[in-house]
Structure 1
């Protein structure tokens, strides 16, 4: 296994790629095996975040029909009062 010091990191504060632990951990994403992967980090992170959100929504039953049913039920309850 390769140490993080030999990997590449994308630094949010500067938008640059660094090799090794130059910037504080909170400011960087990685590690990545290549400079190119690290440079592409904003796109990769956006894609992964979207995929995770969609997966969680499916697991939680947040589909359009599930939400609609809950809203309809609440509306019917108010009409009965």
Structure 2
């Protein structure tokens, strides 16, 4: 296993693949084992973002369907 300083990163500002810590951390996505993987970072980030949004939406739907508690501490089923 290599150190992160020897891995590949995708520069979010320039769209370039970099090896090691060439740019500030805020501009980097990664690390990736190969330059080819790093080049695919935008698609990977879109996929993950979509999956997280779908998961969050499911969580929001679940929490909005739970019964609300009343002020007296009961669940309203009394």
Same fold (TM > 0.5):
yes
Secondary structure of 1:60's counterpart equals helix
After TM superposition, give the deviation of residue 33 of structure 1 in Å. Answer: 0.8
Where structure 1 has 5 or more consecutive residues not aligned to the other structure, the ranges are 68-81
Higher helix share: 1
Where structure 2 has 5 or more consecutive residues not aligned to the other structure, the ranges are 65-78
The total of aligned residue pairs comes to: 64
The CA RMSD measured in Å over matched residues stands at 1.7
Secondary structure of 2:21's counterpart equals coil
After TM superposition, give the deviation of residue 48 of structure 1 in Å. Answer: 0.4
Question: 1:38 — aligned with what?
Answer: 38
Distance of 2:58 and 2:32 partners within structure 1: 29
TM-score by length of 1: 0.72
TM-score by length of 2: 0.75
